[in-house]
Amino acid sequence: MKFRILISIVLFVFSQDYVIGQRLAIDQNDLNNYLFGSFSEDGALSSQLVDYKSILSEYKTFKGTPFYKNKKILVDLITHDGNFVNNVTIRYDLFNNEILARKGEGEEILLDQVHYVEIIGKGKDKDFYMKKITRDGNDRFYSVLYANDEYIFYKDYVKEISNMNSSSYGVVAKKQFTSHVNYYILNNKKTFEIKLPKSELLRMVPAFREVNIDRAMKKYKIKKLKKESHYIELFKNLDENPMSTRRL
């Protein structure tokens, strides 16, 4: 994974708008940086220290936040072999796709995501669910909205940095975090991007090529397909009674 920041930091590579650089391995005695590791029964397993606190400091210079809903989330983590790591508090950095994690009263670490495949919210965060999905050749976590044995409907939270206002000569415009969401359906190991107001794009997905969408909406009293909740309602109803809305 890569860190992206806006102003210069030693050993990072510059571009016009922001800097892209990999985590820096730090001397093990430098406790002013984040441990990078995973969890076991004995606690955090640190593989290295990484220069992440400097990036958190950079975030403070911009308006807004790179973190998911700017809050801590209580979750269970599921490993590749099906084991659970229970009651972990996380902060999800959407800009750099990094997860800060703390178990109990332990130290907050930068989570080595390679060991985990699912993140399941708990308590007031029970609707938070992320699953590792391969898209464009990369494995990363996405927010799953609906899934069955045939397809997965999911979304990607995208955080970007933009100017708050135009800059005049010699004056640097102030920056802010902005966000948007992209929606996808994974079906037959292929990913299809879905624009929510354009329900006709569903016909491009193999799982829906034989479905009469208009008939299904009428049958299930769904007036429009504009929001993710509308799509979830449609998918749930199709799973419960799939044959009645097939094309003739």
- Percentage of residues in the chain having pLDDT higher than 90: 44
**For residue 151, what are the contacts with CB-CB under 8 A and spacing of at least 6?**
185, 186, 187, 205, 207
pTM listed for this prediction: 0.78
Length of the chain: 248
What pLDDT digit, counting tens, does each position of 39-61 carry?
A: 765 444 555 677 888 888 889 98
User: Which string of b and e fits 198-230 if b means at least 16 CB within 10 Å?
Assistant: ebebbeebebbeebebeebbeebebeebeebeb
Q: What is the pLDDT of residue 45?
A: 52
* Residues 120/112, Cβ–Cβ less than 8 Å: no
Tell me, what's the pLDDT at 201? 83
Examine the pLDDT at 71 and tell me if it is beyond 50. yes
Q: Which residue has the tokens 């708050």?
A: 164
> Are 182 and 155 in contact, with CB atoms under 8 Å apart?
yes
Q: What is the dihedral of CA 77, 80, 82, 88, to 10 degrees?
A: -10
Q: If you search the block for the tokens 């049958």, which residue do you land on?
A: 219
pLDDT at 36 exceeding the cut of 80: no
* 3-state secondary structure at position 216: helix
Query: Are residues 133 and 142 in contact, defined by beta-carbon separation less than 8 angstroms?
Result: yes
Query: Which residues, other chains included, contact 73 with Cβ-Cβ below 8 Å and sequence gap of 6+?
Result: 89, 90, 91, 92, 121, 125, 128
d(CA 136, CA 191): 9
pLDDT at 193: 93
Tell me the domain boundaries of the chain. 2-194, 197-248
pLDDT tens track for 111-167 = 989 899 999 999 999 999 999 999 988 899 999 999 999 999 999 999 998 887 655
Task: Note the pLDDT of residue 1.
Answer: 54
Give the Cβ contact number of residue 25 at 10 Å. Answer: 13
